[in-house]
Amino acid sequence: RLLARRAWEGDRRFLWAQSEPTAPGEAGLQPQAALLVVLESATFRAGGEADVRGRGEALVRLGRSYVEAGSGGLWLATVDESARPSSALPRASPPPGSADPSMLEGTAQRLRDAIARGAPAYNRGQARRCADIYLRAAREELRVSGARLVRDSLQEAVASAESLLREAEEADGGHARERKEKAAAWALRHAFDHVLTWIAYDSMPSGCTGCSVC
């Protein structure tokens, strides 16, 4: 409800991302993709809930991200203008090589399945297992996907992750190895989130979308 109120009383824009932002600066981490949403209308009810309607305006890359103190968990973020994704285009001019909606939904489901298996492993301290799960999923998607943005995003992440994992195997200490393995997992996860955000944006109707915010 705080997000909706802030956005409505401000410039009527907010950012939506597939997952919570990660701390910048670690080797191998790429800026995270997010959808810039413009609010079209908002109705605030007495109980604190809000019905809002808005439209996706563009895909952007997140810059500095942090939780505002005393907000109960509201994330604030800047937009990295130097790393705007190529998919930040009007839907009337989709990126060449876009796939049909059913193929994109298949891609989204496979990536979500990989995250569902990899994220718990990462949270248990098994960063290498997580990276391997993500890497297998990314390679398989490169084999079957015809969408250019999917392929461009995943090819870059796969190359980065493979390099980081090679460095991890050559690392002297356990801490250095673990840091490289974590970076590899996050390089792939950010690419997955970028693709999933783009698919969500691409599948929105050209008009407004609505939702309730508690």
Report d(CA 134, CA 187) in Å as an integer.
10
Rg (CA), the chain: 18
Q: Is residue 127 pLDDT above 70, yes or no?
A: yes
pLDDT of residue 22: 59
pLDDT band at 25 (very low <50, low <70, confident <90, very high): very low
pLDDT band at 82 (very low <50, low <70, confident <90, very high): low
pLDDT of residue 14: 81
Least confident of 119-128, 163-172, 200-209: 200-209
pLDDT band at 62 (very low <50, low <70, confident <90, very high): confident
Rounded to 5 degrees, what angle do the CA atoms 69, 73, 76 make?
70
Phi-psi region of 125 (alpha: psi -120 to 50; beta: other; left: phi over 0): left
Does the predicted TM-score (pTM) go above 0.75? no
